[in-house]
Structure formats: structure tokens, C-alpha cells
Amino acid sequence: MESSSFFKELLVFNKPQKAPFRLVGAGICMAVPLFIGYFSNNLLIGSFGSLGIFTFLYYQTLPLKNLLIRLSSVGGFLLLGNLLGMLSTHIPWSIPITIALIAFLARIIFRLYGIAKPGAFFIVMVTAMGTGTKIPIERVPIMMSYVLLGVVTSLVVASILYFVEGAVEPKTIEKKISLQERLYTDPGALLDALHYAAILFLATYISQSLQLTNAYWMIVSCAAVLQGDNLRAIMHRNVQRIFGTMVGLLIAALLLSISFTTLQSIVLICIFFLTVEFFIKRNYAIANFFTTPMSLLLANLARHQYLISLLNYRLIGIVLGSLLGLLGAYVLTTCLRFYNRAYQLEENLDKETE
């Protein structure tokens, strides 16, 4: 009966709050750097600029000043993560430490300041992708300027969207709370961030040791699974991500058998991005149908690789990352249960977070 309930939950199609303009805004953010890169005959602009546009996905209905501060902070985090990721490739042993450090800081700060999902995920993803390509030191500032273009695009589109939605300014002013006070009222944040960083450190170390092609896929998959609020949600994400990836690989294999022009690839990437954003809050498995073809097409814009050979590597990386994330969550939850029994504590990470 329990397993039947578990699989039924996998098929649930959620109905999030309608926000059609935000979906359009996300599409515009993705399209701007891609088309600037296309028309300037520099596809690296689109490839790296697309990393900065994840800033927009943290949009919330807030007063304009608070919204811009929030998005600027997220954009700054994305820039820092990607920069450190790029630099760490010149000292390979520092890559796991860099990803773990960024993961820890992003996880604890985003939780303490109530920056809801996608939370630290995109910060880790952009950092991991920074470690995926070794760029000469002298070219790093240029690449970072492309990422900055994506961040600035997100801020501009978010400002326009604020007025389009007609957001109402609240009459009451929120009380400012210090970082120390936030940590005091949520002590579980420190343990959660340490666990998150430790698992991603291990994922990075394993992916490098196995010399996986595009090793960051394993790290990103592990971080995605750990986005679940509790062990059951993480189990759902594990199954949905692996199943969604398998279907996505079939779609990618079909598309890669067709010879697309650069412009057609850009249009497809934008369509897939909109599709992923539409389904991500409705059904995680369906969203992953389109993540793989989008990622492979995007990777091929600036670096022309033999993509068919990458299909197997992506499946291996995502399966290993998903299973490692699930294993890490299970071990921590089990240990906390025993710890709680020994000391009769009420808190544990298996509870649903609000």
C-alpha cells in the first residue's frame, strides 16, 4: 500500500499559482544573450550569458527595492561561483573544496534569508559548470562579462515585469534581522548546510576520480536531488530525475540525428527552456524530459563536441549523482533519528519544511 502511494505521488501534476508574464520574462532572458551572441558572431556570449539569466528565476512579488536587492545578491553569488569555478580549474585539487565552500555559503545564506526554491541549486550548478572548462587566466574577465550580461538582462526584465504585474507596495515595513539572530532562530540551517556541502564535495571528488566526461553533470544532479524538503521528497526527485533523463536522452538522440543551423538551435533552446520552466513546478519528471536536449544543444553552441557520445556520459553522471544525493540524505536522516532518540530532541531533517 505504501509503495503504491509513493508511485502515485510521482505522477501528481501540481497546479502552481498562475504567473504567465514570468514565463514570458524567463524566455526573454534566455533569448537576449543567445541572439546577441548569434548576431555578433560570438556564440560564447550566448553560452556564458545563459548562466547569468538564472538570476531571473528567483523573481518574487516584492517591493521593487527589495526585489532588485534580492536579484542583485543572487546575481553576485552566480558571478562569484562561476569565477571561482573557472579559477579552480588551474589548481585541480581545489575544485572539490571550491564547490563545497560555495555550496555551504549559498545553502545557509539562502535558507536564513528565506530565498525559497530554487535556493542554492543554480549557484552550485553555475559553479560546477565553471569547473567544466579550463579557460586561460587572461580570458576569464571576458567570460565573466558575458555572465554579467545575463545578470543585467535579468534585472532589467524583472524591473519591467514588476510594473507589468502591477505589484502593490506593502504598507508595513519589515523589521531588519541580523544574520546572528536568523541563525539563532534557525540553528538547523548550519547542520543542513554542512551536510549539503559535504555530499557535494564527495560528488565532485568521485566524478573527478572516475574522470567522467563533463563531470559537473554528476554534481548538478546530486544538488538537484538534495533540493527535496525531506527524505521522501528526495526519493521522489531521485526517481523522477533518472526517469526524466532517460526520456530526455531519447528526445536528444532524435534531435541530434537532425542537422540544425545555429539559429534553429537557438530557437529550440529557448523553447525547451520555456517548457522546462512551465513543468518544473508541475511535475519534476516531465520537466527533465526537456532539460537534457536543452543542455546538450546549449553546450554545442560554443564547443562543437560529438554529442551522440555524450548521451551515455550524461546518463551515467545523472544516475550516479542522483543515487549519491539520495544515499547522503538517507544516512543523515537515519543518524538524526538515532540521535534524537538518544537525547529526546524534537528536531530532525525528515520533517517537511515550510
Predicted local confidence at residue 349, as pLDDT: 47
The whole-number pLDDT of residue 143 equals 92
Q: Is 13 contained in some domain?
A: no
- What are the pLDDT tens digits along the chain (354 aa)? 445 555 555 566 667 666 678 888 888 999 999 999 999 988 889 888 988 999 998 888 888 888 899 999 999 999 999 999 999 999 989 999 999 999 999 999 988 888 877 788 889 989 998 888 888 899 999 999 999 999 999 999 999 998 888 755 554 556 677 777 887 788 888 888 898 899 999 999 998 888 877 788 888 888 888 876 666 777 777 777 778 888 888 888 888 777 778 888 899 999 988 888 888 777 777 888 888 888 878 877 766 554 556 677 777 888 888 888 888 788 877 777 766 666 555 544 444 443
Amino acid 252: pLDDT: 81
Sole residue written with cell 546575481:
75
Is 6 part of a structural domain of the chain?
Answer: no
Residue 10 lies in a domain: no
304 grid coordinates:
562543437
pLDDT at position 101 is 95
Structural domain includes residue 3: no
Question: Distances from the Cα of 106 to the Cαs of 8, 51, 152, 248, in angstroms?
Answer: 33, 16, 20, 29
What's the CA gap between 26 and 53, in Å, rounded? 8
Look up the domain containing 293 and give its range: 22-166+185-343
For 160-198, b/e burial (b = at least 16 CB within 10 A) is ebbeeeeeeeeeeeeeeeeeeebeeeeeebeebbbbbbe
pLDDT at 294: 85
* Distance (Å, whole) CA 107 – CA 72: 17
Note whether 71 and 290 are within 8 A (CB): no
Distance (Å, rounded) from C-alpha 152 to C-alpha 20? Answer: 22
85 part of a folded domain = yes
| Cell output for 247 | 526520456
Q: Are 228 and 195 in contact (CB under 8 A)?
A: no
Structurally, the chain folds into a number of domains equal to 1
Say if 173 falls within a structural domain: no
Please check whether residue 304 lies inside any domain of the structure: yes
Give a yes or no: residue 17 inside a domain.
no
Distance CA 32, CA 15 (A): 29
CA–CA separation, 86 and 180 (whole Å): 32
